[in-house]
Structure 1
């Protein structure tokens, strides 16, 4: 995400502390937050896909996705 968009998220957060956001500002904030979270998740997935676990015998195995218990 571009620095300008992150700066805008922070600016909207400061405005929110001073007064209520307008409906346009609120919609913009929600859109920017969704974009930020999507980018964060994509980057985290890329990092985790490159993680290898070294077993006691020295072999490297890729990190496995944990099974959902629900």
Structure 2
């Protein structure tokens, strides 16, 4: 999801939230709210996972102490040569 699509999803979620608080939602709007919320959370998790998978941890002595599980993922994606 690109930034414009993410903003549109967030704006719609916020609109539906405020409508729910003031007037209530129809069954269709509630289903839409749930679907948009799921889409937003899935996108957030994917972005967070990508950040963690690209992370390299270095101790104060300059030694790479990245967890082996992350190193394997990075190797699989071609991000590591070791």
| Structure 2 gaps, min length 5 | 70-82
Q: How do residues 1-70 of structure 1 correspond to structure 2 at under 5 angstroms? A: 1=1, 2=5, 3-63=7-67
How many corresponding residue pairs? 65
Query: TM-score under structure 1 normalisation?
Result: 0.79
| Structure 1 gaps, min length 5 | 66-70
Higher RCO (Cα < 8 Å, 6 or more apart): 1
- Which protein is richer in strand relative to its size? 1
Query: TM-score under structure 2 normalisation?
Result: 0.69
Question: RMSD value over aligned CA atoms?
Answer: 1.7
